[in-house]
C-alpha cells in the first residue's frame, strides 16, 4: 500500500504556509487510456490540529479551464483531485478542482454507478464549501487552451468542520491514519489523461479500495 506522511505545521492562513516543510508525493501511475500527454504532478501536504493544507504543482500543457462555480464538472477541465476517507466506518470525500479554482465536492457512501449517478452520494452544501480556502495560480477561465508548456499550482486549506457533519468528530493528531488518493485529469482537454498517486484498477477514480495510507506526524 502506498503511504504518505503528513507533517505538522502551526495553524495559519493559507498564504503563509511553507510547503517546503512537507514531504513530496508524485503522481506516477498513468492510466493506459490516456493520450500521450502525461503531466508531471507533485503534491505537498501539511496539517495542524483542525486543518489540512495541500498544494499541487503541475508541469502541464494543453491547459483548459471553462467550468466555473460550485459543483461544476471541473474534471472535464485541467483538474487535480483529492479523495479522502477519514474513518474506516464512514464514506469518503471527493474534492475536485480545476486549474482556475472551481470546485466539485461530495460525500460518497456507495460509489456504485447508476443511471442517476452514484448509488449514495451527497453534494457538500455551499455553507460548508466556503470553509475551504483555494488559491490557484491561473485565472478562473483559460480559453482557448494553452498548448505551450507551463507550470501551475493549486493550494488548499480544508477545515475538519467541512467533513464532520458527515463523519462525526475527526482528529488529525500525530499517529492518526486516514486513507486517500490524489489524481490529475483533463477529460475534455485536447489531450485527455488520468494520473494517480496510488494506482487504480480501472479508469475509475472512485475506488476507495485503492486508496493509500495518509499518516499524520508531529
Q: Which domains does the chain have, with CATH numbers?
A: 3-9+26-216 (2.60.40.1190)
Percent of the chain topping pLDDT 90: 98
* Complete DSSP assignment for the chain: --EEEEEE-----GGG--GGGS-EEE--EE-TTS-S---EEEEEEEE-SSEEEEEEEEEESSEEE---STT--GGGSSEEEEEEE-STTS-EEEEEEETT--EEEEEEEEEEEETTEEEEEEEPPHHHHTTEEEEESS-S-EEEEE-S-EEEEEEEEEEGGGTHHHH-S----TT-EEEEEEEEE-TTSSS--EEESS--SSS-S--GGG-EEEEE--
pLDDT for res 216: 97
pLDDT for res 85: 98
pLDDT for res 145: 98
At 121-159, the pLDDT tens digits run: 999 999 999 999 999 999 999 999 999 999 999 999 999
At 79-115, the pLDDT tens digits run: 999 999 999 999 999 999 999 999 999 999 999 999 9
At 165-209, the pLDDT tens digits run: 999 999 998 999 999 999 999 999 999 999 999 999 999 999 999
Give the Cβ contact number of residue 116 at 10 Å: 7
C-alpha torsion 25→63→78→141, nearest 10: 130
Rounded Cα distance, 154 and 189, in Å? 18
pLDDT for res 209: 98
pLDDT for res 54: 98
Rounded Cα distance, 101 and 133, in Å? 10
Q: What are phi and psi for residue 176, nearest 5 degrees?
A: -70, 145
At 38-61, the pLDDT tens digits run: 999 999 999 999 999 999 999 999
**21: region left, alpha or beta (phi > 0 left; psi from -120 to 50 alpha):** alpha
Assign 218 a pLDDT band (cuts: 50, 70, 90).
confident
Q: What are phi and psi for residue 21, nearest 5 degrees?
A: -85, 0
Amino acid at each position: 500500500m502506498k503511504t504518505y506522511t503528513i507533517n505538522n505545521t502551526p495553524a495559519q492562513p493559507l498564504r503563509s504556509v511553507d510547503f517546503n516543510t512537507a514531504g513530496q508525493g508524485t503522481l506516477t501511475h498513468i492510466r493506459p487510456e490516456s493520450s500521450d500527454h502525461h503531466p508531471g504532478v507533485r503534491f505537498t501536504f501539511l496539517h495542524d490540529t483542525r486543518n489540512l493544507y495541500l498544494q499541487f504543482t503541475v508541469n502541464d500543457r494543453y491547459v483548459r479551464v471553462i467550468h466555473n462555480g460550485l459543483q461544476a464538472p471541473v474534471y472535464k477541465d485541467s483538474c487535480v483531485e483529492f479523495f479522502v476517507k477519514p474513518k474506516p466506518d464512514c464514506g469518503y470525500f471527493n474534492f475536485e478542482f480545476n486549474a482556475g479554482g472551481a470546485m466539485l465536492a461530495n460525500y460518497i457512501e456507495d460509489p456504485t454507478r447508476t443511471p442517476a449517478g452514484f448509488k449514495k452520494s451527497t453534494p457538500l452544501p455551499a455553507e460548508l464549501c466556503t470553509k475551504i480556502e483555494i488559491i490557484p495560480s491561473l485565472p478562473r477561465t483559460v480559453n482557448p487552451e494553452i498548448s505551450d508548456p507551463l507550470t501551475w499550482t493549486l493550494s488548499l486549506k480544508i477545515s475538519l468542520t467541512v467533513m464532520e457533519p458527515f463523519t462525526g468528530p475527526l482528529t488529525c493528531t500525530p499517529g492518526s491514519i486516514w486513507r486517500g488518493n490524489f489524481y490529475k485529469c483533463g477529460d475534455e482537454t485536447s489531450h485527455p489523461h488520468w494520473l494517480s498517486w496510488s494506482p487504480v484498477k480501472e479508469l475509475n477514480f472512485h475506488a476507495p479500495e485503492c486508496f493509500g495510507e495518509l499518516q499524520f506526524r508531529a
